[in-house]
Amino acid sequence: MEQPARPGRTRRGAPAGRTLVAMSCPPPFFERMFTMHTVLAPASALDAAIHTIATVVADLGHGNFLLDLHGGTLTCKRAASCLLHPDTGDKVLVSGPSRQQSYLIAVLERDSARTARVGVDGAMTIGYGGALQVLSDDAIRLESASLSLASGQLDIRADSAVVVAQELSYHGRQWQGALGVLRHTGQALEMLLDKVRQVARVCYRQVEQTDHLRAGQLDYQARDYVRLHGDHVMVTSDKLLKMDSKQIHLG
């Protein structure tokens, strides 16, 4: 078999005046594909889209979480639509166009003994055009630094209600209440009113020590009788003392 001639040399047995030039052949197709796959494998894995299940390892703060992804680790941000705050050990769904642009989009599984927390980073407003109803079989608790309720009409119904406050203020045009029994217990009662009107079928007042009354004019009227009694009774007048009756008994 004839050997290929080197470039620029004339092969033995070749016709005179003709020079054969040897050219290197390209590598086989499968070798080129293997070389290309070996070089591009790490970059393609990082740039590939991701949609898989992972486990939360730690909360890094500012919406970032460290995840356990099939034995490896991945750091990603929580999606704005994921309202349930992820916790350590939760099974979550991770999705994105690449690992560098992946997001934690949902919490799939959590221990039922843990308390779930719904919220977002920053302020949040819940709004809807229709009615909004919050139901619970156990208890509902609202806790914040400040709580404000604004409504055209407020209706509160309860079998038992307790209000505990260091200072309680009410400002309104009218206060109206219908109660079976009203009891006040305290150290002092101060009322500053322009007018006081009380209507009762029976009224009892008991003062242990001193009862003072100061009035510009004092008018007492009874349909039946009036009785004043004491160890010492004094009736004095600066100008006029008048007693008028059909009968007057003294002594």
Q: Which two tokens stand for residue 62?
A: 């500012």
Instruction: Give the H or E element holding residue 47.
Output: helix 29-47
Q: Which residues contact 88 (CB under 8 A, 6 or more apart)?
A: 56, 57, 58, 59
Torsion on CA atoms 182, 188, 194, 196, rounded to nearest 10: 40
- Stronger pLDDT, 205 or 15, i.e. the higher one: 205
pLDDT of residue 10: 46
pLDDT of residue 36: 38
Which range has highest mean pLDDT (8-12, 127-131, 246-250)? 246-250
pLDDT of residue 146: 93
Q: Can you tell me the mean pLDDT for 184-190?
A: 91
For residue 236, pLDDT beyond 60: yes
Give the chain's domains with CATH numbers: 48-109 (2.40.50.140)
pLDDT of residue 29: 45
C-alpha 158/C-alpha 18 separation (Å) is: 112
pLDDT of residue 106: 96
Q: Is the pTM of this model over 0.85?
A: no
What are the tens digits of pLDDT across the range 29-47? 444 443 433 334 355 566 7
Q: Which has the closest alpha carbon to 56: 99, 93, 81, 100?
A: 93
pLDDT of residue 35: 40
pLDDT of residue 45: 60
Q: Can you tell me the mean pLDDT for 98-122?
A: 90
Q: Are 95 and 74 in contact, with CB atoms under 8 Å apart?
A: no
DSSP 190: -
pLDDT of residue 127: 83
Instruction: Give the H or E element holding residue 44.
Output: helix 29-47
